[in-house]
């Protein structure tokens, strides 16, 4: 979420298919579950499909026209005839011959007609592909030439899983968290509602249970002043889960990758929870465990303020570091996040925090809503030297989910869908296309890029990237597959740590004086 707009606030762990799945299940399989194919392989597949279709038509025609039992020229069974015929074969033999079987001329006419129809269809599809291509593309296993139609086809198979949507804070500001007063099936005042989610082909998103950084004067330099941030976070978790449960035909609470896949395959929108800032933990790793138990699956280490765990990048340049990156308690926090399977989110963190977290975390990491600093130089965006630590080569597996906030995308009045695509392209070039995703920040930003005005507009971005040469498998990774891989990686690390008997982390913030540190203090 963009800090300056907070005051107003108006603005699927294992594969879902197994080796025992039927062929029909495989044909419906989402692209993120399938291996990436090269362009050459895709063309070969289309060619094989066309050839198979032709063979099927020819065989069908032959079966209709020719006798079912192989015969010699004198009408006797040939050496290829079956030795033992079934009752069905005997019944068939007792039936009167059809017109085609008894009259060679009729058979020839039917054969010629079918052949002519098939040849004409091939000529139309091959010779007039530009005219009929989009209409017949699905039949040939191809995408439409029109980028927008291609984007819709891709999103039907690989819907968007957005890393960061701020609907809960809008509900807090506009409706005082009264979930019964919110009608998500009608047009909402922000960027998100059910009709627009459906139009935008959204298959899932993280509901950000954000509350703002506390007043420094009340919190104090050691973060010990009472600020009610844990209470407020619990309220945001509560309203998010209430809204999810109010629309069971649309939303499904997701706690892991398998839940995400199950929701999407079932036509629902997978709904995950993310905490946007370590200041919401109350300096306590125990609070993290309780958030996890309530369904939280990522924690952003900082927002625009430093906290007891890590340094923030702030909002504008010039924030003075406090810890020089992670504090010791911050390293312990990441250890516990790894053990639980909570994703480490590095959006909003300082460069030092991000670098140290990448090296310290045993699990893959994410940026839930950040763009590329080389494209637009603001502290909130990820610089190239950090992008080079992930992806290509021996880098940490990670996904950077591109933010749509105009202030992070381009100079004033220059934020467009093309500008957002530039960020996607740049991250892909530096880290690899397997390490970029989408984290719009919708409902947390006061302004939007031209062409990406709300959640219904995701297809415009996919169309832009398709026109730039991204193929359907790369785009399926961008829309959600890359996040699922990273999330699955974090789940595996958690399972391994738990299987090894790794105990929970009990480290306490060293500046706390309200809790005994040993038996002598009881």
> Which CATH number goes with the domain that contains 237?
3.20.20.140
pLDDT given for residue 145 in this prediction: 92
Would you place residue 134 in the very low, low, confident or very high pLDDT band (cuts 50, 70, 90)? low
Task: Verify that 264 and 289 share a domain, yes or no.
Answer: yes
Q: 522 lies in a domain? A: no
CA 360, 363, 369, 373 dihedral sign is: positive
Task: Verify that 152 and 135 share a domain, yes or no.
Answer: no
- Residue whose C-alpha is closest to residue 349's, from 312, 397, 296: 312
Task: Verify that 125 and 190 share a domain, yes or no.
Answer: no
Q: 47 lies in a domain? A: no
Instruction: Please state which of the ranges 77-81, 370-374, 470-474 shows the lowest mean pLDDT.
Output: 77-81
Q: What percentage of the chain exceeds 90 in pLDDT?
A: 70
Mean pLDDT computed over 36-50:
46
Task: Report d(CA 205, CA 371) in Å as an integer.
Answer: 18
Task: Verify that 135 and 159 share a domain, yes or no.
Answer: no
Q: 98 lies in a domain? A: no
Residue 471, pLDDT > 80, answer: yes
Residue 26, pLDDT > 60, answer: no
Residue 34, pLDDT > 80, answer: no
Instruction: Please state which of the ranges 49-53, 92-96, 210-214, 481-485 shows the lowest mean pLDDT.
Output: 49-53
Max mean pLDDT among 35-39, 113-117, 462-466 falls in 462-466
Residues annotated catalytic, as ranges: 164, 166, 276, 303, 348, 369, 441
- Residue whose C-alpha is closest to residue 487's, from 277, 272, 241: 272
Residue 68, pLDDT > 60, answer: no
Q: 8 lies in a domain? A: no
The model scores a pTM over 0.85: no
Number of domains forming the structure of the chain: 2
Q: 482 lies in a domain? A: yes
DSSP letter (8 states) at residue 71: B
- Kindly state the tokens that stand for 440: 């719009």
CB 305 within 8 A of CB 216: yes
Task: Verify that 256 and 133 share a domain, yes or no.
Answer: no
The string of DSSP letters for 460-502 reads HHHHHHHHTT--HHHHHIIIIIHHHHHHHHHHHHHHHHHHTTP
pLDDT digits (tens, 9 = 90+) for 283-319: 999 999 999 999 999 999 999 999 999 999 999 999 9
pLDDT given for residue 147 in this prediction: 97
pLDDT given for residue 253 in this prediction: 98
CA distances from 382 to 448, 461, 478 (A): 20, 20, 17
pLDDT given for residue 110 in this prediction: 76
Of 93 and 201, the structure prediction assigns the larger pLDDT to: 201
- Kindly state the tokens that stand for 19: 């080796």
Task: Report d(CA 279, CA 301) in Å as an integer.
Answer: 8
pLDDT given for residue 9 in this prediction: 38
Q: 476 lies in a domain? A: yes
Residue 277, pLDDT > 50, answer: yes
Mean pLDDT computed over 104-108:
74
Task: Verify that 228 and 167 share a domain, yes or no.
Answer: yes
Of 414 and 120, the structure prediction assigns the larger pLDDT to: 414
pLDDT given for residue 30 in this prediction: 60
Residue 127, pLDDT > 60, answer: yes
Q: Which domain holds residue 262?
A: 147-500
Instruction: Please state which of the ranges 24-28, 149-153, 177-181 shows the lowest mean pLDDT.
Output: 24-28
CB 419 within 8 A of CB 410: yes
Residue 454, pLDDT > 90, answer: yes
CA distances from 75 to 78, 91, 423 (A): 9, 18, 73
Longest dimension (CA), the chain: 109
- Grouping H, G, I as helix, E, B as strand and the rest as coil, residue 178 is coil
Instruction: Please state which of the ranges 4-13, 119-128, 164-173, 277-286 shows the lowest mean pLDDT.
Output: 4-13
Q: 58 lies in a domain? A: no
pLDDT given for residue 105 in this prediction: 73
Task: Verify that 261 and 402 share a domain, yes or no.
Answer: yes
Would you place residue 84 in the very low, low, confident or very high pLDDT band (cuts 50, 70, 90)? very low
Residue 13, pLDDT > 70, answer: no
Mean pLDDT computed over 393-414:
94
pLDDT given for residue 106 in this prediction: 72
Task: Report d(CA 347, CA 367) in Å as an integer.
Answer: 5
Q: CA 5: distance to chain centroid? A: 26
Q: What percentage of the chain exceeds 70 in pLDDT?
A: 75
Task: Verify that 425 and 329 share a domain, yes or no.
Answer: yes
Residue 444, pLDDT > 80, answer: yes
Task: Verify that 224 and 359 share a domain, yes or no.
Answer: yes
Q: 222 lies in a domain? A: yes
Of 295 and 59, the structure prediction assigns the larger pLDDT to: 295
Mean pLDDT computed over 22-26:
40
pLDDT digits (tens, 9 = 90+) for 329-360: 999 999 999 999 999 999 999 999 999 999 99
- Kindly state the tokens that stand for 399: 């996904």
> What does pLDDT average to over the chain?
85
Task: Verify that 205 and 132 share a domain, yes or no.
Answer: no
Task: Verify that 346 and 456 share a domain, yes or no.
Answer: yes
pLDDT given for residue 79 in this prediction: 42
Would you place residue 80 in the very low, low, confident or very high pLDDT band (cuts 50, 70, 90)? very low
pLDDT digits (tens, 9 = 90+) for 368-398: 999 999 999 999 999 999 999 998 766 899 9
Task: Verify that 232 and 126 share a domain, yes or no.
Answer: no
- Kindly state the tokens that stand for 69: 């039992």
Strands (E), 166-301: 202-208, 251-253, 269-276, 296-300
Would you place residue 98 in the very low, low, confident or very high pLDDT band (cuts 50, 70, 90)? low
**What's the CA dihedral at 144, 150, 154, 157 to 10 degrees?**
-50
């Amino acid at each position: 979420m963009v800090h300056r707009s907070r005051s107003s606030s108006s603005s699927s762990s294992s594969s879902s298919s197994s080796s025992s799945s039927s062929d029909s299940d495989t044909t419906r399989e989402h692209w993120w579950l399938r291996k990436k194919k090269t362009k050459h392989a895709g063309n070969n597949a289309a060619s094989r499909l066309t050839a198979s279709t032709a063979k099927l038509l020819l065989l069908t025609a032959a079966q209709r026209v020719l006798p079912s039992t192989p015969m010699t020229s004198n009408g006797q069974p040939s050496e290829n005839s079956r030795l033992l015929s079934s009752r069905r074969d005997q019944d068939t033999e007792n039936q009167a011959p059809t017109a085609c079987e008894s009259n060679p001329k009729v058979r020839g006419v039917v054969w010629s007609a079918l052949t002519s129809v098939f040849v004409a269809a091939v000529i139309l599809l091959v010779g007039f592909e530009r005219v009929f291509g989009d209409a017949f593309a699905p039949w040939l296993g191809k995408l439409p030439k029109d980028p927008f139609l291609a984007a819709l086809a891709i999103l039907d198979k690989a819907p968007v899983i957005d890393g960061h949507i701020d609907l809960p804070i809008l509900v807090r500001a506009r409706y005082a968290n009264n979930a019964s007063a919110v009608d998500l099936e009608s047009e909402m005042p922000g960027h998100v509602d059910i009709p627009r989610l459906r139009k935008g082909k959204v298959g899932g998103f993280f509901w950000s249970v954000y509350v703002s950084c506390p007043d420094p004067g009340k919190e104090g330099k050691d973060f010990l002043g009472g600020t009610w941030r844990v209470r407020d976070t619990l309220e945001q978790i509560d309203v998010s889960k209430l809204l999810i449960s109010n629309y069971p035909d649309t939303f499904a609470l997701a706690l892991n990758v398998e839940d995400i896949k199950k929701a999407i395959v079932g036509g629902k929108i997978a709904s995950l929870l993310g905490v946007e800032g370590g200041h919401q933990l109350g300096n306590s790793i125990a609070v993290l465990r309780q958030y996890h138990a309530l369904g939280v699956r990522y924690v952003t280490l900082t927002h625009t303020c430093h906290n007891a765990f890590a340094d923030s990048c702030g909002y504008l340049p010039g924030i003075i570091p406090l810890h020089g990156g992670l504090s010791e308690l911050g390293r312990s926090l990441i250890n516990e996040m790894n053990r639980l399977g909570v994703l480490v989110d590095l959006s909003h963190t300082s460069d030092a925090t991000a670098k140290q977290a990448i090296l310290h975390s045993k699990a893959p990491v994410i940026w839930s809503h950040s763009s590329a600093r080389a494209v637009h130089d603001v502290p909130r965006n990820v610089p190239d030297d950090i992008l080079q630590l992930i992806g290509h080569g021996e880098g940490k597996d990670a996904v950077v989910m591109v933010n749509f906030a105009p202030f992070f995308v381009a100079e004033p009045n220059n934020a467009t869908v093309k500008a957002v695509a530039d960020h996607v392209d740049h991250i892909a070039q530096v880290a690899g296309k397997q390490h970029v995703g989408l984290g719009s920040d919708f409902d947390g930003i006061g302004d939007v890029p031209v062409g990406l005005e709300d959640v219904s507009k995701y297809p415009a971005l996919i169309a832009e990237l398709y026109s730039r040469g991204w193929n359907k498998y790369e785009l399926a990774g961008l829309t959600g597959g890359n996040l699922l891989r990273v999330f699955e990686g974090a789940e595996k690390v958690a399972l391994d740590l738990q299987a090894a008997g790794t105990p929970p982390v009990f480290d306490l913030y060293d500046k706390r004086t309200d809790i005994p540190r040993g038996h002598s203090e009881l």
